[in-house]
Amino acid sequence: MKIRKFILLISFIIFTGCVGYSSTGVLGTGVSIALDPRSLGTQIDDSIMQQNLRAKLLSADKSYIISVKTKILDGRIFLTGKVKSVEDKFKITKLAWEIKGARSVNNDLRIKEKFDFKRSAKDVLITSQLRAALIGSKKIKAVNYNIDTYKKKIYVYGIAQNKDERDEVIKEAKQILDVEDVITSIFLVDDLRVVKK
């Protein structure tokens, strides 16, 4: 039994030793630390802001954790998802602005409507098609982008290495069938406060 545990432990160390850790589990930002152009300090600051915002949302209303998606890039807060009322939308915006270090808040929250399976399936398909296009492109670092689709509108958040990469992401998004609009918040590496050297 001890030998089996020892072999399992050694296997775990060997198989995880050469793999870069993702900040999804450790820091919560969803972008691989090794590939992220932000400095480690900025990534940690954004991560702390993300956790503080999640705690505020949880203490305000437990349903916000499921219905509201948050993303923080270089102190800029992005909110997407669905809420019950306009008051909830304003309340969440206020909570986001209360986070120490917030430079801006981009609120793309929508008011909940009756569930429409067909529309939801189409939105998932659009998101999947764009994600596949970004991964398949040699000009784009797909790991640096978050994608959300609502009512055939694509929301893309991320950090581009240069203007050409940003333009390529937008071009790929606009080529997806049935997309009505593409809303982007893509920053260039040069736009960040502190960049990894």
Q: Which residue has the higher pLDDT, 39 or 26?
A: 39
pLDDT tens digits for range 145-180: 888 888 899 989 888 989 999 999 999 999 999 999
* Separation of alpha carbons 161 and 130, rounded Å: 18
Inform me whether the pLDDT recorded for 19 exceeds 50: no
- pLDDT band of residue 134 (cuts 50, 70, 90) is very high
Nearest to 137 by CA among 112, 108, 171: 171
pLDDT tens digits for range 56-115: 999 999 989 899 999 998 899 999 998 998 889 889 988 999 999 988 888 889 888 887
Q: How many domains does the chain fold into?
A: 2
Please list, residue by residue across 24-55, b when 16 or more beta carbons sit within 10 angstroms of its beta carbon and e when fewer do.
eeebbbbbebeebbbbeebbebbbbbbebbee
CATH number for position 105 = 3.30.1340.30
Inform me whether the pLDDT recorded for 191 exceeds 80: no
Do residues 132 and 107 both lie within one domain? no
Do residues 104 and 153 both lie within one domain? no
- Domain boundary residue, one of 75, 94, 111: 111
- Domain boundary residue, one of 111, 132, 164: 111
Nearest to 144 by CA among 36, 14, 39: 36
13 lies in some domain: no
103 lies in some domain: yes
The pTM (predicted TM-score) of the whole model is 0.62
Q: For strand 104-111 and strand 145-150, is the pairing parallel, antiparallel, or unpaired?
A: unpaired
- 3-class SS string, 30-48: CCECCCCCECHHHHHHHHH
14 lies in some domain: no
Do residues 103 and 48 both lie within one domain? yes
159 lies in some domain: yes
Inform me whether the pLDDT recorded for 20 exceeds 50: no
Do residues 100 and 137 both lie within one domain? no
- Domain boundary residue, one of 111, 136, 163: 111
Residue labelled with tokens 């050409």: 164
Q: What SS3 state is found at 99?
A: coil
Q: For strand 181-188 and strand 145-150, is the pairing parallel, antiparallel, or unpaired?
A: unpaired
Do residues 80 and 102 both lie within one domain? yes
Do residues 96 and 129 both lie within one domain? no
Q: Which residue has the higher pLDDT, 101 or 194?
A: 101
Inform me whether the pLDDT recorded for 29 exceeds 50: no
**Residue-range definition of the domain harbouring residue 105:** 40-111
Do residues 93 and 132 both lie within one domain? no
* Separation of alpha carbons 132 and 111, rounded Å: 29
pLDDT at 59: 93
pLDDT tens digits for range 173-187: 999 999 999 988 888
pLDDT at 5: 63
| Amino acid at site 190 | D
